[in-house]
């Protein structure tokens, strides 16, 4: 049993979060509210850079910066050497993708629910390298069919399996422990997009059996925008995988016609990066770890269930989330209404939600027969009373129009 959050603890966490006194923030799946220690870490480093110079500030903060790799390692149950700092989750993902030695006809196996930019990348790779994209069938209740995954891995020998743990556009959680156990039997490389799960639910790469895992700082980890990270397994490092555009951080140029890639995951980094954001990301990961990711996940699930239950009581509205396991991405549509107008009316009451459109998830939305959804994503710092206020305002919007 995980220890529940007390009222006092939630009050303290909200006090730590300046945004909580200004808005009802139900958009942690977009970008969450940063807590004060994260804001401080960023601001203090920028101030230091202003005072002593950028390179000089980095030298002064070397120890703290290396603490980022330890923190991310602890988050994912791996070593600091297996972590690379990146500009965002897509950057992490594409660096890993670019390291796979694809030949014409090689298969990338993915799902109907993989993230939009990953799907675009597969199409772009097909155009340039002649790779072929195949998709695992979905199970009747949503999420991938594990038997079909096994079958396709066995029959197609894909070069890469790409799974998005939690899609951006629905509350689905893919069964990644089971997926990891299946893919382990084959020599297919496995890239896991954990952008929405990092900070929302526990992640253990030893159990996940992935070769790469990509994540971002700003969502459920409550870090800054413009920062992310990549887990690179020992297997991927030992195979000599390296990003296509490796730079002087990832490798040493040792002779006119020769470079030597770094031994650890910094092989996947760029020389230039935002030190202040790296320190902010470190603070955000430590903040989450101090609270406890399993406790965070328990409260998030409670608040997501609470929100779904209240939404279900509104007849005009259609909830869209499907899957054996659901998370704190709650999506719904309201026939006869316009997404942007709903979002704007809620924003005028200081309630933050976002809109999601068919072009973000065409396979899923075509199956569901919808053009748009409103996405609501509470985090542990949200209160039931905030969700009640959101529901009350949503009802007013719907009933005023009728
Ligand atoms: C599932 C998923 N993967 C990847 C991304 C891309 O993350 P970033 O914007 O940090 O590149 C997102 C962003 O919303 C996402 O939801």
* Chain position carrying tokens 């556009």: 169
Ligand 1 in contact with 114 (CB < 6 A)? Answer: no
Query: How far apart (Å, rounded) are the C-alpha atoms in residues 31 and 367?
Result: 27
Centroid of ligand 1 to alpha carbon of 253 (angstroms): 33
Coil, strand or helix: which one is 131?
coil
Q: How confident is the model at residue 400 (pLDDT cuts 50, 70, 90)?
A: confident
Query: How far apart (Å, rounded) are the C-alpha atoms in residues 76 and 270?
Result: 22
Ligand 1 in contact with 28 (CB < 6 A)? Answer: no
* Chain position carrying tokens 């239950």: 309
Query: How far apart (Å, rounded) are the C-alpha atoms in residues 352 and 292?
Result: 26
Q: Which of 92, 96, 196, 284 to mutate to test the pocket of ligand 1 (most atoms within 8 A of CB)?
A: 196
Ligand 1 in contact with 193 (CB < 6 A)? Answer: yes
- Contact criterion met (CB below 8 Å) for 342 and 397: yes
Ligand 1 in contact with 168 (CB < 6 A)? Answer: yes
Output the six-digit token pair for 29. Answer: 């799946």
Ligand 1 in contact with 195 (CB < 6 A)? Answer: yes
Answering whether pTM is above 0.85, one says: yes
Strand order in the sheet with 330-333: 318-319, 330-333, 372-376, 354-357
210 backbone dihedrals φ, ψ, rounded to 5°: -95, 155
Query: How far apart (Å, rounded) are the C-alpha atoms in residues 284 and 67?
Result: 12
Q: How many other C-beta atoms can be found within 10 angstroms of the C-beta atom of residue 371?
A: 12
Residue 2 in this model has a pLDDT that exceeds 80: no
Q: Which of 216, 218, 222, 331 to mutate to test the pocket of ligand 1 (most atoms within 8 A of CB)?
A: 216
- Contact criterion met (CB below 8 Å) for 246 and 262: no
Query: How far apart (Å, rounded) are the C-alpha atoms in residues 278 and 252?
Result: 23
Query: In sequence order, what E strands does 48-186 have?
Result: 83-86, 107-111, 132-136, 160-164
Hey, whose CA ends up nearest to atom 8 of ligand 1? 89
Start-to-end Cα distance in the chain: 46
Q: State pLDDT tens for residues 203-260.
A: 999 999 999 999 999 999 999 999 999 999 999 999 999 999 999 999 999 999 999 9
Structure letter (DSSP) for residue 214: E
Residue 402 in this model has a pLDDT that exceeds 80: no
Q: How many other C-beta atoms can be found within 10 angstroms of the C-beta atom of residue 34?
A: 26
Q: How many other C-beta atoms can be found within 10 angstroms of the C-beta atom of residue 358?
A: 16
Q: Which of 116, 122, 195, 218 to mutate to test the pocket of ligand 1 (most atoms within 8 A of CB)?
A: 195
Centroid of ligand 1 to alpha carbon of 138 (angstroms): 21
Ligand 1 in contact with 377 (CB < 6 A)? Answer: no
Q: State pLDDT tens for residues 283-325.
A: 999 999 999 999 999 999 999 999 999 999 999 999 999 999 9
């Amino acid at each position: 049993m995980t220890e529940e959050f007390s009222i006092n603890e939630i009050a303290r966490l909200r006090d730590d979060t300046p945004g909580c006194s200004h808005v009802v923030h139900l958009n942690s799946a977009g970008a969450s509210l940063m807590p004060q220690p994260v804001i401080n870490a960023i601001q203090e480093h920028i101030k230091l850079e202003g005072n002593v110079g950028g390179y000089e500030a980095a030298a002064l903060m070397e120890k703290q910066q290396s603490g980022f790799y330890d923190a991310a390692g602890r988050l994912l149950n791996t070593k600091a050497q297996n972590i690379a700092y990146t500009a965002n989750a897509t950057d992490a993902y594409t660096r890993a993708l670019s390291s796979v030695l694809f030949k014409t006809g090689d298969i990338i196996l993915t799902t109907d629910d993989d993230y939009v930019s990953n799907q675009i990348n597969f199409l772009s790779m097909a155009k340039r390298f002649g790779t072929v994209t195949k998709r695992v069938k979905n199970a009747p209740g949503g999420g991938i069919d594990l038997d079909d995954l096994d079958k396709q891995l066995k029959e197609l020998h894909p070069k890469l399996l790409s799974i998005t743990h939690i899609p951006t556009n629905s509350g689905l959680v893919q069964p990644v422990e089971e997926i990891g156990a299946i893919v382990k039997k084959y020599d297919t490389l496995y890239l896991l997009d954990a952008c929405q799960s990092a900070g929302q639910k526990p992640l253990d790469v030893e159990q996940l059996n992935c070769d790469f895992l990509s994540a971002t700082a700003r969502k459920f980890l409550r870090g800054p925008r413009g920062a992310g990270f990549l887990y690179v397994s020992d297997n991927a490092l030992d195979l000599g995988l390296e990003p296509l555009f490796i730079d002087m951080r990832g490798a040493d140029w040792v002779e006119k016609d020769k470079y030597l890639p770094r031994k650890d995951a910094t092989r996947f980094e760029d020389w230039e990066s935002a030190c202040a954001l790296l320190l902010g990301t470190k603070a955000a990961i430590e903040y989450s770890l101090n609270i406890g990711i399993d406790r965070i996940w328990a409260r998030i699930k409670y608040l997501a269930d609470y929100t779904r239950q209240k939404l279900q009581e509104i007849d005009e509205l259609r909830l869209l989330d499907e899957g054996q396991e659901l998370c704190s991405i709650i999506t719904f549509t309201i026939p006869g209404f316009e997404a942007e107008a709903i979002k704007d009316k809620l924003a005028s009451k200081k309630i933050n939600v976002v809109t999601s459109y068919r072009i973000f998830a065409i396979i899923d939305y075509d199956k569901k027969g919808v053009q748009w959804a409103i996405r609501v994503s509470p985090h542990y710092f949200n209160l039931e009373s905030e969700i009640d206020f959101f529901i009350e305002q949503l009802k007013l919007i719907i009933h005023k129009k009728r």
